Amino acid sequence: MKQGKLKQILLITDGCSNQGEDPILVANYIQEQGITVNVIGVLDQGQTQSDSLSEVEAIATAGGGVCQLVYPQALSQTVQAVTRQAMTQTLQGVVNQELQQILGKDQTIEELPPEQRGEVIEVVEELTETSDLHLLVLVDTSASMQKKLITVKEALIDLSISMNSRVGDNQFAIYNFPGKKKPTSKVLDWSSKLNKLEAVFPKLTSGGMTPTGPALKEALYSFSQTGLLRSLRRNVEPEEADFGF
């Protein structure tokens, strides 16, 4: 099988979008473009998995990705586990399609006898380890995320330890929403390391807006800029105004 490039979006939010396009619609559209949308819903201490977070699951379902609700203290382990699971799931989907081409349209991994299934999973695992990953992280920096942002930053730095221990190459980009004067701002342009994150991680954006839909749209746009197009059109510097302590 050809060595693929996996395109994933990881949305970290506490739910409650209230501005711009419907994020579920955008997530659906993104999935059509071969990019998966995964969502981590950050709970408040003591909050049970409830209403405000049902949107979170709907976005992940529409985006063909993984959804996980989590308390801040477990964020690091969850971010890396969800990313890994998302890659596996996408690759499993690819393998399933190939299986169906070979064995007929109802054949899935689940239905294979254990012996063959083991062989298929070994291939999926190998691909998870060796595929190149393009991961765009969208961080909700609206007021309600206040107490959680430092934890998010640590979790992302931790994620790069995990991902850079893989055999395959990684490219990460980080955006936050809402931005200062627009829905979304670029925190970190596509790069293979996240160690600069410590210095540039955004502070909170005040004002009551949570434009999740527009942020997802921006993420899609950013993906379309990677690759050939991007090398021609040198990117603008990330905005200065919002960042830096």
Partner 1 sequence: MLSQKKLTSAFNLPIGSQIIGKWDRQRYTITRLLGKGAVGAVYLVKRDDGHLIALKISDQIASISSEINVLKKLTKVQGTSPGPSLFDVDDWISPTGENYPFYTMEYVKGERLDQFIQRRGMDWISLLFAQLLSELAKLHQAGFVLGDLKLENLIVTSDPIRLRFIDVGGVTLFGRSVKEYTEFYDRGYWQCGDRKAEPKYDLFSLAMVAIHCTYPKQFNKTDQPKQQLLAKLRQAKSLNRYQLFLERALLGRYKGCLEMKRDLEKHYLSRMSKNQKVILPSNHDQQTSWLEISIFSIISLITWLLAYLN
Question: Is omega for the bond preceding 23 within 30 degrees of 0, making it cis?
Answer: no
51 forms part of the interface with partner 1 (CB under 8 A): no
Q: Toward partner 1, which CB reaches closer, 164 or 171?
A: 164
68 forms part of the interface with partner 1 (CB under 8 A): yes
Closest CB 81 distance from partner 1, rounded Å: 6
C-alpha to C-alpha distances, 53 to 71, 119, 230, nearest whole angstrom: 13, 37, 35
Q: Is the Cβ–Cβ distance between 43 and 52 less than 8 Å?
A: no
Q: Toward partner 1, which CB reaches closer, 98 or 122?
A: 122
46 forms part of the interface with partner 1 (CB under 8 A): no
Q: Which of residues 92-151 bind partner 1 (CB under 8 A)?
A: 92, 109-111, 113-115, 117-118, 121-122, 124-125, 129
Q: Toward partner 1, which CB reaches closer, 167 or 232?
A: 167
Q: How far is CA 101 from the centre of its chain?
A: 29
- The C-alpha atoms of residue 41 and residue 7 are separated, in whole angstroms, by 20
198 forms part of the interface with partner 1 (CB under 8 A): no
Backbone torsions φ then ψ of 170, nearest 5 degrees: -130, 145
Q: How far is CA 217 from the centre of its chain?
A: 13
161 forms part of the interface with partner 1 (CB under 8 A): yes
Most distant CA pair in the chain, distance = 58
Residues binding partner 1 (CB under 8 A): 68-70, 74, 76-78, 81-82, 85, 88, 92, 109-111, 113-115, 117-118, 121-122, 124-125, 129, 158, 161-167
